A = this chain, B = another copy of it.
Amino acid sequence: MARKKGVVLLSGGIDSSTLLYYLRSQEHSLLPITFKYGQRHEKEVESARAIAISLNLSIKVVDISGLGLFGGSSLTDDIPIPEGHYTDESMKLTIVPNRNMVFLSLATAYAVSMGCDYVAYAAHAGDHFIYPDCRPEFIDSIAYSIKLATGNVGLVTPFSHLSKAGIVRLGLGLKVPYLMTWSCYKGDEVACGRCGTCVERLEAFSLNNEKDPIDYMAGTYLDR
């Protein structure tokens, strides 16, 4: 069988970094892609680049921040970032409208241009259903749309039945350099340990009886 070739959505966080390592372990030929959409900081893009380089892959960085189409989210605007476990209210503040559909559409265009078999995306069972474009029915529908639009590009989501702790378990076995990853919504020198994504990341390592290798500010969720 010919070697599979795919575009991988890489955010620089733990889910997508593990996905890249997982697909590499299958000996696929990989084209990681990441997006600048007006995040408050460059740390995500820097982490995505470092993870790609760690596998000797070059990364496609697509800057859509200047298009002026995303607004009203605390990930890109000047709204305080909520702390603690996610709540419906705090998560609504971090929604960038239609972000996953935009990313998947652009990644698909890139996949067609580069003659790839698939686009891979680290959708997982821990995704929050307040984000409508993370729900399984959306993923199924957009996968069908992509297939219809391209004829031969598939959307693959190998982690759709894994929790974040399950992803970390897999990644620890694959020796993913989690020290290079970045999840915190804030762009400080070290991760805050308090925002929704830090809390979930700390929990995922804790459930594996492992310590998250990145540095955190004093007083994280786990210290409480």
Min CB distance A70 to B, Å, is 6
Interface segment, one of A45-53, A100-108, A168-176: A100-108
Interface segment, one of A146-154, A177-185, A195-203: A146-154
Q: How many copies of the polypeptide does the oligomer hold? A: 2
Chain B residues whose CB sits within 8 angstroms of the CB of A96 once the complex forms? 109
Kindly supply a per-residue 1/0 record for chain A positions 74-102, scoring 1 wherever the CB is within 8 Å of any chain B CB and 0 otherwise: 00000000000000000000001111111
A106→B96 CA distance, assembly (Å) = 12
- Judging by beta carbons under 8 Å apart, are A148 and B144 in contact? no
- Judging by beta carbons under 8 Å apart, are A101 and B97 in contact? no
Interface segment, one of A17-25, A60-68, A216-224: A60-68
Chain B residues whose CB sits within 8 angstroms of the CB of A135 once the complex forms? 148
Q: Is A145 an interface residue (CB 8 A)?
A: yes
Which residue from chain B places its CB closest to the CB of A149 in the assembled complex? B133
Chain B residues whose CB sits within 8 angstroms of the CB of A69 once the complex forms? 62, 106, 109-110, 113
- Judging by beta carbons under 8 Å apart, are B102 and A98 in contact? no
Chain B residues whose CB sits within 8 angstroms of the CB of A70 once the complex forms? 109, 113
Q: Is A132 an interface residue (CB 8 A)?
A: yes
Q: Is A141 an interface residue (CB 8 A)?
A: yes
A123→B149 CA distance, assembly (Å) = 14
- Judging by beta carbons under 8 Å apart, are A101 and B105 in contact? yes
- Judging by beta carbons under 8 Å apart, are B144 and A141 in contact? yes
Contact of A109 among B102, B132, B149 (CB under 8 A): B102
**Which of A67, A138, A149, A150 gathers most chain B CB within 10 Å?**
A149
Q: List 20 A-B contacts (CB under 8 A).
A: A62-B68, A62-B69, A69-B109, A70-B109, A72-B113, A98-B108, A98-B149, A99-B109, A101-B105, A101-B108, A101-B145, A101-B149, A104-B105, A105-B105, A132-B148, A133-B149, A135-B148, A138-B145, A142-B145, A145-B145
